[in-house]
Amino acid sequence: MADVEALLEEAETQLNRFEYEEAYEKFSELLEEDCEENVEAQAHFGRAEASLGLNEIDSEEILEDYERAIELNDNPFYRQSAGGFCIDIGKFEKAEEHYRKAAELDPDNKHHYLSDLAVGYRFKAPIMMEEYVEQVGEDIILRKSLNYMLEALEIDQEQAVELLS
């Protein structure tokens, strides 16, 4: 049995050095060990992060690692990362779920999570939903993104209009 802590440290060091393939392998090796839930969560999260640098890993597999990490240790950092990944692959409802849960877990930073969601949605949705945008126009995406941003700013539409007048 490998020294779990040393293996985790090595995997994280490789990830920080952008040695994605090596980090992925170490995190996978770590997941074969009998370790406590928090370490297993870190390994799933680390493997998901390492996967982002590897073209051959399927997005569903990456998402499964994020989801498993969250299942084992639900925290705002894991949620925000999973939400950002969901935006990148066009799973906007799942992204919203993760960002909102991050905001719930860390209410002092709710504005950060919701503004991340607003900006990510604004710039990624038109690309991912190109055919839909051609049919209905970009206004619906802008409106939804703006509503996320207003929520992040803790103001409603009327206050925004008043402030902009």
Please, which pLDDT band fits residue 132 given cuts at 50, 70 and 90?
Answer: low
Give tens-digit pLDDT for 10-62. 999 999 999 999 999 999 999 999 899 999 999 999 999 999 999 999 999 99
Domains and CATH numbers, the chain: 1-73 (1.25.40), 75-165 (no CATH)
The mean pLDDT value of the chain amounts to: 94
Range 118-145 average pLDDT: 84
> Measured between alpha carbons, how far is 158 from 63 in angstroms, rounded to an integer?
38
> In terms of C-beta density within 10 A (0-12 exposed, 13-18 middle, 19 or more buried), how is residue 108 classed?
exposed
Sign (positive/negative) of CA torsion 150, 154, 159, 164?
negative
Cβ neighbours of 113 (radius 10 Å): 25
